[in-house]
Amino acid sequence: MERWRRQLQQSVTRVDELAKRFDVPEETLRRVEQKFKIKITPYYLSLIEKKDDPIYKQVVPDPRELENHGLYLDPLAEDADSPVNNIVHRYPDRCLFLISPVCGSYCRFCTRKRKVGDPQKINRNFIDEGVDYIRTHAEIRDVILSGGDPLMLSDAKLESILQKIRAIPHVQIIRIGTRMPCFLPHRITLKLVRMLKKYHPLYMNVHFNHPRELTPLAVKALKRLADAGIPLGNQTVLLKGVNDDPQVMKTLMQKLLQARVRPYYIYQADMVFGTEHFRTRVEKGLEIIQALRGWTSGLGVPHFVIDAPGGGGKIPLLPEYVQSINDNEIVMRNYAGKIFRYTQPKATLPESTVHGYTEEGDSFLADPEEIVLMDGLGY
């Protein structure tokens, strides 16, 4: 049996095991389990140094998951934007295609808590219908494979889906969203990457939330994917007690870049039922972006977005750099807080005018003869 299969088989799914290991009441874990599946790979479990650390919080159930704070089971109204089973088609030219009901481990903050782990709700019998939907919608040029985790499928099953999607002429790019390099880097076998690279242009978005997740094994898995020519992006969820700290986020982004992963999004935690204890104020995300932009490589600065409740899609938020803007100029501050001005172009110049610039920077009108003369002078 492949190593990753064995890891999955040996994953912790039992509440009595967790209760004993971390000294938490078994009864509460059992009640949480009825709401949302528990699974932790032995590898990811081994990254927990102590109870309540940033690794622990992401995967070990918490009794607060049962509390109702007026949050939603389907905060992004994905089910309303689902024309056929397993497809979420919200944007004009791309769609999500949920092809796997299961994950390597279950994130306690998952936005699809209502669905993941339940093969009835993400049903593999509907995959061909999903492919048909993509085939009959010529506007879809970007297909994002998601779930659950697409890399939980066997190489053969995943390949049969990739093949069918690649055979659709209007699909330009395929993306895979996966947390396997984080939860189970063993999944990234040479056999898998040899298969994946047949389906280029293929992009992959991985999901790391804390620098401690970038172990040598995870970095090796990411290297394999990058060596197969797969551009890697990372999506991070901003989580209280896990990564709601500018220094932690900066380290995470820098380590991702070293692992050849380009930070793509930081998500404000969605308003998912049972995750109130993970949510931060929105200002925290802005503070993090402010602490990244200018202070570290621009490559390491992701977009901070709120996926709008009710299905509005991802909305980017930026710290305020603009102090004022009018017809003449913009006044702005740089990353360190210093003020700068940029002058707007003069709106009154007729469009057909050929113009050059004097040394002082003033524009002037030039007639064609003058231009010839300037050429002769070596301008």
Residues near ligand PLP, by CB under 6 A: 88, 90-91, 94, 96, 144, 314
Per CB under 6 A, 300 contacts ligand SF4: no
270 assigned to active site? yes
| Segment lying near ligand SF4 (by CB under 6 A), choices 12-20, 142-150, 270-278, 298-306 | 142-150
**How many Å apart are CA 277 and CA 67, to the nearest integer?**
9
**How many Å apart are CA 67 and CA 328, to the nearest integer?**
53
**Residue choice 74, 149, 213, 307 for contact with ligand SF4 (CB under 6 A):** 149
**How many Å apart are CA 339 and CA 331, to the nearest integer?**
7
Give residues with Cβ within 8 angstroms of 185, minimum separation 6.
43, 215, 217, 218, 220, 221
**Residue choice 36, 97, 106, 304 for contact with ligand SF4 (CB under 6 A):** 106
Minimum distance between the CB of residue 199 and ligand PLP, rounded to whole angstroms?
A: 19
Give residues with Cβ within 8 angstroms of 116, minimum separation 6.
37, 101, 102, 103, 106, 110, 122, 147, 148
Choice between 110 and 192, CB closer to ligand SF4 = 110
264 assigned to active site? no
107 assigned to active site? yes
90 assigned to active site? yes
Residue of 53, 81, 91, 333 with catalytic role: 91
Minimum distance between the CB of residue 88 and ligand PLP, rounded to whole angstroms?
A: 4
DSSP 130-147: HHHHHHT-TT--EEEEEE
Choice between 254 and 280, CB closer to ligand SF4 = 280
Residue of 106, 110, 114, 267 with catalytic role: 110
The CA angle 320-326-331, to the nearest 5 degrees, is: 45
Choice between 102 and 291, CB closer to ligand SF4 = 102
DSSP 318-343: ----EEEE-SSEEEEE-TTS-EEEEE
Residue of 37, 108, 112, 113 with catalytic role: 112
**How many Å apart are CA 100 and CA 152, to the nearest integer?**
7
- Token pair 């901003």: residue: 238
The listed partner (ligand SF4, ligand PLP, none) that binds 166, CB under 5 to 8 Å by sort, is: none
Q: Among 188, 191, 263, 192, which residue's Cα sits nearest to residue 232?
A: 263
95 assigned to active site? no
Active-site residue list: 90-91, 94, 103, 107, 110, 112, 270, 307, 314
Could you list the residues that contact ligand SF4 (CB under 6 A)? 103, 106-107, 110, 112, 116, 147-149, 179
